[in-house]
Amino acid sequence: MKYLSEYRNLEETKKVLDEIHKITTREWNIMEICGGQTHSLVKNGILELLPEKVRMIHGPGCPVCVTPLNLIDKAIELLEQGVIVCSFGDMIRVPGSKKSLLETKALGGDLRILYSPIEAISIAKKNPDKEVVFFAVGFETTAPANALSVLHAEKEGITNYSILASHVLVPPAMEAILDDKFCTINAFLGAGHVCAIMGTKEYYPLVSKYKIPIVVTGFEPLDLVQGIYIAVKQLEEGKYELANQYSRIVKEEGNIAAIDVINKIFEIGNREWRGIGEIPNSGYVIKEAYRKYDAEEKFNISTIKVPENPNCIAGEILRGIKKPNQCDQFGKTCKPSNPLGAPMVSSEGACAAYYHFSTNLID
Amino acid sequence: MDIENIGFETINLGHGSGGELTRNLLDKIIFKTFSNPYLDQKHDGSIVKIEGEVAISTDSFVITPIFFKGGNIGELAVHGTVNDVAMCGAIPKYLSLAFIIEEGLKVSEFIEIVQSIKKAADESGVLIITGDTKVVERGKGDKIFINTTGFGQVHPKANISVHNIKEGDKIIVNGFIAQHGMAIMSEREGLEFESTIESDSTNLNFLVNDLLDVFGDKIKLFRDPTRGGIGTVLHEIANDINKGVFLKEAIIPLEKQVAAACEMLGLDPMYVANEGVFLVVVDPSVENEVLNVMRNHKKGKNAAIIGEITNEHPNKVVMESLIGGKRIVSPLVGEQLPRIC
Q: What is the 3-state secondary structure (H, E, C) of A43-79?
A: HCCCHHHCCCCEEEEEEEECHHHHCCHHHHHHHHHHH
Nearest to A45 among B260, B316, B326 (CB): B326
Give the whole-angstrom CA distance, residue B12 versus residue A69: 46
CA distance B184 to chain A (A): 15
- Residue B339's pLDDT band (cuts 50, 70, 90): low
Q: What digits encode the pLDDT tens for the residues B175-197?
A: 999 999 999 888 876 666 777 88
A50 Rama sector, left if φ>0, alpha if ψ -120 to 50, beta otherwise:
beta
Give the architecture (CATH level 2) of B13-154: 2-Layer Sandwich (3.30)
Which chain A positions have a beta carbon within 8 Å of B188's beta carbon? none
In this prediction, residue A305 carries a pLDDT of: 76
CA distance A339 to chain B (A): 11
What value does the mean pLDDT take over residues B247-263?
94
Indicate where chain B has its CATH 3.30.1330.10 domain(s). Answer: 13-154
Q: What is the CATH number of domain B162-328?
A: 3.90.650.10
Pairing status of strand A266-273 against strand A277-286: antiparallel
- Residue B222's pLDDT band (cuts 50, 70, 90): very high
What is residue A129's three-state secondary structure? coil
CB A174 within 8 A of CB A57: no
Mean pLDDT, rounded, of chain A: 92
Long-range contacts at A101-108 (CB < 8 A, ≥ 24 apart): A101/A72, A101/A75, A101/A76, A101/A135, A102/B334, A104/A76, A104/A79, A104/A80, A105/A79
Inter-chain touch A9–B323, beta carbons under 8 Å? yes
- Chain length of chain A: 363
Give the whole-angstrom CA distance, residue B206 versus residue A232: 57
Which chain A positions have a beta carbon within 8 Å of B339's beta carbon? 36, 88-90, 347-348
Which chain A positions have a beta carbon within 8 Å of B250's beta carbon? 10
Give the whole-angstrom CA distance, residue A100 versus residue A76: 7
Which chain A positions have a beta carbon within 8 Å of B328's beta carbon? 356-359, 361-362
What is residue B317's three-state secondary structure? strand
Give the whole-angstrom CA distance, residue A310 versus residue B297: 58
In this prediction, residue A362 carries a pLDDT of: 45
First to last CA, chain B: 49
Lowest-pLDDT range of B13-17, B41-45, B227-231: B13-17
Q: What digits encode the pLDDT tens for the residues A284-319?
A: 999 999 999 999 999 988 777 777 788 889 888 888
φ, ψ at B121 (rounded to 5°):
-65, -45
What value does the mean pLDDT take over residues B258-264?
89
Element (H, E) at A38: helix A35-43
Which chain A positions have a beta carbon within 8 Å of B320's beta carbon? 45
A315 in reach of chain B (CB within 8 A): no
- Residue B112's pLDDT band (cuts 50, 70, 90): very high
CATH of range A67-169+254-298; options 1.10.10.10, 3.40.50.980, 3.40.50.11740, 3.40.50.300? 3.40.50.11740
In this prediction, residue B190 carries a pLDDT of: 61
What dihedral do alpha carbons B57, B60, B63, B69 form, nearest 10°? Answer: 40
B248 in reach of chain A (CB within 8 A): no
In this prediction, residue B191 carries a pLDDT of: 65
Cβ neighbours, 10 Å, residue A329:
18
CA distance A237 to chain B (A): 28
Nearest to B323 among A8, A193, A357 (CB): A8
Nearest to A359 among B323, B328, B338 (CB): B328
Which chain B positions have a beta carbon within 8 Å of A337's beta carbon? 333-334
A113 in reach of chain B (CB within 8 A): yes
Inter-chain touch B326–A48, beta carbons under 8 Å? yes
Q: What digits encode the pLDDT tens for the residues B292-313?
A: 999 999 999 999 999 999 999 9
- Burial classification of residue A126, based on how many CB atoms lie within 10 Å of its CB (0-12 exposed, 13-18 middle, 19 or more buried): exposed
In this prediction, residue A4 carries a pLDDT of: 72
What dihedral do alpha carbons A152, A157, A159, A163 form, nearest 10°? Answer: 10
Inter-chain touch A359–B330, beta carbons under 8 Å? no
What value does the mean pLDDT take over residues B61-69?
92
- Tell me the ipTM for this assembly: 0.81
- Chain length of chain B: 341
In this prediction, residue A363 carries a pLDDT of: 43
CB A314 within 8 A of CB A94: no
Residues of chain A with pLDDT under 50: 1, 362-363
Which chain A positions have a beta carbon within 8 Å of B323's beta carbon? 8-10, 13-14, 44-46, 49, 221-222
CA distance A10 to chain B (A): 4
Give the whole-angstrom CA distance, residue A110 versus residue B143: 19
What residues contact A147, with CB distance under 8 A and at least 6 apart?
Answer: A261, A262, A264, A265, A266
Best CA proximity match to A352, nearest among A29, A43, A67: A43
In this prediction the pTM is: 0.87
A15 in reach of chain B (CB within 8 A): no
Inter-chain touch A115–B190, beta carbons under 8 Å? yes
Query: What percent of chain B is predicted at pLDDT more than 70?
Result: 96
Total beta-carbon pairs less than 8 A apart between chain A and chain B: 117
